[in-house]
Chains A and B, each alone.
Chain A
Amino acid sequence: MTDHLLAASGLSAGYKNIEILHGLDLTVPPGKITVIVGANACGKSTFLRTISRLIAPTAGQVLLDGKSIHRMPSRDLARTLGLLPQSPIAPEGITVADLVSRGRHPHQSLFSRWTRQDDEAVDSALSATKTSDLAERPVDELSGGQRQRVWIAMALAQQTDILLLDEPTTFLDINHQIEVLDLLIDLNHTRGTTVVMVLHDLNLAARYADHLVALASGHVHISGTPEAVLTEETVRQVFGLESRVITDPISGRPIMLPIGRHRIANPQQQEKRA
């Protein structure tokens, strides 16, 4: 069980001459699953990049257990906080086992030797993501879904108490999406790993989140339980989309049905849009 507390306060950050995050306040509940949703380009990836210190904040800070992460030794941070970026790059010809082993990077130094513990971490990451059979295959030759599972394995091999994932379910078919999300929940239950992930599917977000956060143009629009966050009003304000929110008979969580311009059987809904 781990209870590292990760929080951003008044966080502003961006790129050369544009600010993307404007005074973002967000506390990640320890030992829980937090899901971040928001429209394209609202700053989700930028937020994760700021947390992993690729970008320095222009104002505010990110605190881990009360200490500013920008003042922590990098390896210490990388052993507590892992991140699977939205588009990582696999070196040409690298094998699955090799790539997943790279997750052990922060646990090693220039002179330290590879230990049994490292092998075991890689092995358990492979088996948790059902990629053991792919271990010797080159990553270039895998399908998009297999590759995504390999990247997740790499993040798992890092064995951090907090795991951030930027759209971990892209490229996956529905079965593998559910499998990955279940896997993250397992990880959360068995190891107490705090999971923060960006998802685009609002219904899966509401189903799997303990804590749901909706970002809009660089700040937290609303956050809380899925019931409190996934409402018709939120969907309208954050995504500019009309919808109906009902209760999912499977999970008892809210589920959102979009209302577009076409394919609407019930005339009442048509009126609502107009």
Chain B
Amino acid sequence: MQSAAIDVVITNRRGRARRYAVVLAVLLALVAAIFAVTLSIGKTITPPAEVLRVLLGEAVPGADFSVGQLRLPRAVLSVLAGLCFGLGGVAFQVMLRNPLASPDIIGITSGAGAAAVFAIVVLSMSGPMVSVFAIVAGLGVAMLVYGLSFHNGVAGTRLILVGIGVSAMLQSVIAYILQSAPAWSLQEAMRWLTGSVNGAQLDQALPLLLALLVFGGLLVSRSRDLDALRLGDDMAAALGTRVAQTRMLVIIAAVGLIASATAATGPIAFVAFLSGPIAGRIVKNDGSLLIPSALTGAVLVLAADYIGQHLLPGRYPVGVVTGALGAPYLIYLIIRVNRIGGTL
């Protein structure tokens, strides 16, 4: 009896660890596969051998430009932005125990986007300064929404509603700035309205990589505390988590990720919002959602951009495709949360 039960405990635990490893491996393979397809199959098909030669820095006539200058920066930026959105989104959702509490729903993405547009259009800034500006604005919005909705320690539906309001306001700020900038191309405008990786450059990847290392590293190092928060603040505290401190760090790190990605690609619609719940469906309770959600974000951006570029009649920026995917899920969630008060 005793030994039978402990066997169940051990089998159960090993099963979780094994399934988690499989999930990570599959997601990684998926990212790699779509990345490879993006590099080799576009308007023209470049054989894998040639792609490889371009990647190794050889001069390959023809492929040089299409792979090295067009497809590679685009794919790299998609992966990095997807990782950032996926990671930042799920951190908020887990911390606040609500899938609707994602940064793109509660206004943080719009805040970073508005700040970036303002910095570029009005202040004529460029490069990493735009990211810094976006991060500061994102943090400002996070504090604002948090402050407005934190009533006696409970941040539930109130936070979502306040966030949706703030988000709508900031969206109109973006629209206003875009409208008063006459020299703006439609393509650029789309970037700030729904997100796009059109015209990606490799040097845009550097600030994103940096954000991923610093803020992503910070989040992952806190993954156990985040996991504990899923059991409620009281229980997390009882298990030795410093709840307030963890919250603060998670907010800073997640905003840093979201804002950096937004400054590079614009607010790619719903990726932050979708990645966590999709990863949650796959991972169940087998382990931390952070890395699976980051990988899911990368898959979403890569795949949606590929679909928008090559599989639809006409070309659409990535955010239009993710937006079309995310909207029905948002509606479903609102209905469901309304009924039962859901968690992730």
A residues in contact (CB < 8 Å) with B: 15-16, 49, 52-54, 74-75, 77-79, 82-95, 97-98, 101-103, 105-106, 108-110, 114, 119-120, 122-123, 126-127, 132, 135-136, 158
Assembly CA distance A89 to B285 (angstroms): 14
Assembly CA distance A158 to B238 (angstroms): 10
Name the prevailing secondary structure of the B interface residues: helix
Report A-chain residues with C-beta under 8 Å of the C-beta of B233.
54
Contact of B239 among A93, A102, A123, A132 (CB under 8 A): A102
Tell whether, in the assembled complex, residue B9 and residue A83 are in contact, meaning their CB atoms are under 8 Å apart: no
Q: Which 3 A-B pairs have the closest CB atoms?
A: A78-B240, A85-B234, A83-B238
Tell whether, in the assembled complex, residue B231 and residue A91 are in contact, meaning their CB atoms are under 8 Å apart: yes
Tell whether, in the assembled complex, residue A127 and residue B344 are in contact, meaning their CB atoms are under 8 Å apart: no
Which residues of chain B from 1 to 57 have a CB within 8 Å of any chain A CB?
Answer: 1-2, 5-6, 8-10, 12-13, 16
Contact of A95 among B12, B231, B238 (CB under 8 A): B12
Tell whether, in the assembled complex, residue B240 and residue A105 are in contact, meaning their CB atoms are under 8 Å apart: yes
- Within 8 Å of chain A (Cβ to Cβ): is B161? no
Tell whether, in the assembled complex, residue A98 and residue B153 are in contact, meaning their CB atoms are under 8 Å apart: no
Tell whether, in the assembled complex, residue B237 and residue A90 are in contact, meaning their CB atoms are under 8 Å apart: no
Tell whether, in the assembled complex, residue A52 and residue B237 are in contact, meaning their CB atoms are under 8 Å apart: yes
Tell whether, in the assembled complex, residue A135 and residue B5 are in contact, meaning their CB atoms are under 8 Å apart: yes
CB-nearest residue of chain B to A87: B232
Tell whether, in the assembled complex, residue A136 and residue B238 are in contact, meaning their CB atoms are under 8 Å apart: no
Report A-chain residues with C-beta under 8 Å of the C-beta of B237.
49, 52-54, 83
- Within 8 Å of chain A (Cβ to Cβ): is B152? yes
15 residue pairs of the A-B complex, CB under 8 angstroms, read A54-B234, A54-B243, A82-B238, A83-B237, A83-B238, A85-B234, A89-B343, A92-B344, A93-B285, A105-B224, A110-B224, A123-B9, A126-B5, A127-B1, A135-B9
Report A-chain residues with C-beta under 8 Å of the C-beta of B231.
88-91, 102
A-B CB pair tally, cutoff 8 Å: 112
Tell whether, in the assembled complex, residue A101 and residue B13 are in contact, meaning their CB atoms are under 8 Å apart: yes
Shortest CB distance A157–B (Å): 10
Tell whether, in the assembled complex, residue A89 and residue B97 are in contact, meaning their CB atoms are under 8 Å apart: yes
Instruction: Please judge, given known A-B contacts A106-B239, A110-B221, whether A52 and B230 are in contact too, CB under 8 Å.
Output: no
Tell whether, in the assembled complex, residue B228 and residue A119 are in contact, meaning their CB atoms are under 8 Å apart: no
Most buried by B among A54, A88, A103, A108: A54
- Within 8 Å of chain A (Cβ to Cβ): is B158? no
Report B-chain residues with C-beta under 8 Å of the C-beta of A90.
231
Instruction: Please judge, given known A-B contacts A135-B9, A135-B12, whether A91 and B2 are in contact too, CB under 8 Å.
Output: no
Contact of B152 among A15, A82, A105 (CB under 8 A): A15
Chain B interface size range:
35 or more
Tell whether, in the assembled complex, residue A74 and residue B240 are in contact, meaning their CB atoms are under 8 Å apart: yes
Assembly CA distance A256 to B187 (angstroms): 78
Instruction: Please judge, given known A-B contacts A54-B233, A82-B238, A102-B228, whether A114 and B13 are in contact too, CB under 8 Å.
Output: yes
Assembly CA distance A91 to B12 (angstroms): 17
CB-nearest residue of chain B to A48: B234
Shortest CB distance A88–B (Å): 4
Contact of A52 among B10, B227, B238 (CB under 8 A): B238
Report B-chain residues with C-beta under 8 Å of the C-beta of A136.
8, 12
Assembly CA distance A108 to B242 (angstroms): 16
Contact of A78 among B5, B6, B238 (CB under 8 A): B238
Assembly CA distance A16 to B155 (angstroms): 13
Report B-chain residues with C-beta under 8 Å of the C-beta of A98.
12, 16, 285
Tell whether, in the assembled complex, residue B230 and residue A89 are in contact, meaning their CB atoms are under 8 Å apart: yes
Contact of B232 among A79, A88, A93, A158 (CB under 8 A): A88
Instruction: Please judge, given known A-B contacts A74-B241, A119-B10, A123-B2, whether A105 and B228 are in contact too, CB under 8 Å.
Output: yes
Shortest CB distance B284–A (Å): 6
- Within 8 Å of chain A (Cβ to Cβ): is B181? no
Report A-chain residues with C-beta under 8 Å of the C-beta of B243.
54
Tell whether, in the assembled complex, residue B9 and residue A97 are in contact, meaning their CB atoms are under 8 Å apart: yes
Shortest CB distance A87–B (Å): 7
Contact of B6 among A83, A84, A103, A119 (CB under 8 A): A119
CB-nearest residue of chain B to A158: B239
Contact with A along B112-153 (1 / 0, CB 8 A): 000000000000000000000000000000000000000011
Shortest CB distance A99–B (Å): 8
Instruction: Please judge, given known A-B contacts A89-B343, A91-B343, A127-B2, whether A106 and B12 are in contact too, CB under 8 Å.
Output: no
Instruction: Please judge, given known A-B contacts A16-B152, A127-B2, whether A91 and B230 are in contact too, CB under 8 Å.
Output: yes
- Within 8 Å of chain A (Cβ to Cβ): is B334? no
- Within 8 Å of chain A (Cβ to Cβ): is B235? yes
Tell whether, in the assembled complex, residue B9 and residue A122 are in contact, meaning their CB atoms are under 8 Å apart: yes
Contact of A74 among B232, B234, B242 (CB under 8 A): B242
Assembly CA distance A15 to B244 (angstroms): 13
Instruction: Please judge, given known A-B contacts A89-B231, A92-B344, A95-B285, whether A126 and B9 are in contact too, CB under 8 Å.
Output: yes
Contact of A123 among B5, B230, B285 (CB under 8 A): B5
Tell whether, in the assembled complex, residue B234 and residue A15 are in contact, meaning their CB atoms are under 8 Å apart: no
Report B-chain residues with C-beta under 8 Å of the C-beta of A120.
6
Tell whether, in the assembled complex, residue B2 and residue A94 are in contact, meaning their CB atoms are under 8 Å apart: no
Instruction: Please judge, given known A-B contacts A85-B235, A89-B231, A105-B224, whether A94 and B285 are in contact too, CB under 8 Å.
Output: yes
Shortest CB distance A56–B (Å): 8
Report B-chain residues with C-beta under 8 Å of the C-beta of A79.
240
